[in-house]
Amino acid sequence: MVFNILKETQKISSKKAEALILDIARHSTNGSRLHGKSDDDVKQFFASQGYDWKTLRESIRTPGVPVPFVENLLGSSAFVFGGGKHDTLTIMHHGKPVASFHGSGQIAMFDYHAKYDQAITCRKRVIKDAQYTELLSCASHGIAAVESYINTQAFYWNNNHPNDTLDLQEDRLDIKLNDWLKKMTGKRLNHLSCWNHFKDYQAVNNEGLKHTMHPAHAVNFSEMATTLNKFRYGIAKILFELHIAFKQMVPVSIIRGMYFADIEVINT
C-alpha cells in the first residue's frame, strides 16, 4: 500500500539562505552590532571573523544550522518560576499589573511570541504525523499570535495617548492590522504580498471552527503541504512586518519562519 507523507526538503535555495543571514544579522533580537548595516557591511563583518561568504551561505541552506555570532537557537518565549504557595509574581506595565500567579508557575513575557512558538510546534506535528487537526491548531495559534501582537501595541498606544485611544473591544482583525496600524505607525499591511497568504490562514482557521458543527472533514495532503508553505508569509512574514512597522527587533524564530524549507508530499 502507498501512503502519502509530508516531508520538509533538505535545503533552502542559496538566495533564501543569503536573505536569511542578512535578516537575522540586521533585524534579530540577538545582537545589535549589525542592525541597520548594508549587505556589504554584513558580509565584511563575517569576513573579518574568518568566514567565507559563499561557504557560510551554503551551510545555512541546511535548516537549523545557526548563523554564527548573531543567532542563538536555544531561546524560549516562556519561563518557569518556582516559589512558595504564598509567593506572588506580578508583571507591571505603567504601574498596572498585566500578568501574575501565586506559587510556582510559568510566565510568558510576550504573549504573542508564546502563541507563535506553539504554532511552530503544531506545524512540526503536522509534518511528522500529517494530522489535519494539528494544521488547524497551527493556523489558530498563528492567527492568535498576530492578533496578540497588534493588541499589545494598541495597549501601549492607549497608555501613551489617553486622548486618542483605540477601541480595544474591536474584534475585526483586518481593522486592527490596517486601520489601527495606520494610526500607530502610518503603515498598512493589506497592500503587501504576504497579506493574501495571511487571509488564507484566516480561512483555514475559520474552516476549523466550521468543522465543529459537522460530523466529518476531509483534506488531501497536497492541500496540507500548500497551507504549511504559506505559513512563511501568512504568519511569520506578517509578524516580521509588524515588528518593522513598530521599529522593533524581531525574534529569530519569526525570521527563521519566513525561510522554512518547502514541504512536499512524497510516496513511500
The per-residue pLDDT for 36 is: 87
Task: Give the tens place of pLDDT for each residue, 224-237.
Answer: 999 999 999 999 99
Output the pLDDT for position 219: 81
Counting other chains too, the contacts that 34-37 makes at CB distance below 8 Å and 24 or more residues apart are 34/70, 35/249
User: Cα(189)–Cα(242) distance, rounded to whole angstroms?
Assistant: 8
Residue closest to 246 by CA, chosen among 115, 157, 141, 144:
157
| Residue type at 61 in one-letter notation | R
**Dihedral angle, C-alpha 51, 240, 129, 4, nearest 10 °:** -80
Mind giving me the DSSP string for 172-237?
A: -HHHIIIIIHHHHHS--STTSTHHHHHHHHHHHHHHHHHHTTSS-----HHHHHHHHHHHIIIIII
pLDDT given at position 73: 57
Q: How far apart are CA 180 and CA 189, in angstroms?
A: 11
**Domain assignments of the chain as residue spans, ordered by start:** 4-74+110-267, 78-109
Q: Looking at residue 67, what is its pLDDT?
A: 94
Bridge partners (DSSP) of residue 7 are 264
> What is the rounded distance in angstroms from the CA atom of residue 157 to the CA atom of residue 241?
18
Residues of the chain with pLDDT under 70: 1-4, 31-32, 73-109, 210-215, 268
The pLDDT score that the predictor gives to residue 6 is 94
10 Å Cβ neighbour count for 51?
Answer: 17
Question: Whole-angstrom Cα distance, residue 209 to residue 140?
Answer: 10
Element (H, E) at 119: helix 111-129
| Percentages (nearest 5) of helix, strand, coil residues in the chain | 55, 10, 35
**Coil, strand or helix at 45:** helix
- Which residues in 85-113 are b (16+ Cβ under 10 Å) and which e? eeeeeeeeeeeeeeeeeeeeeebbebbbb
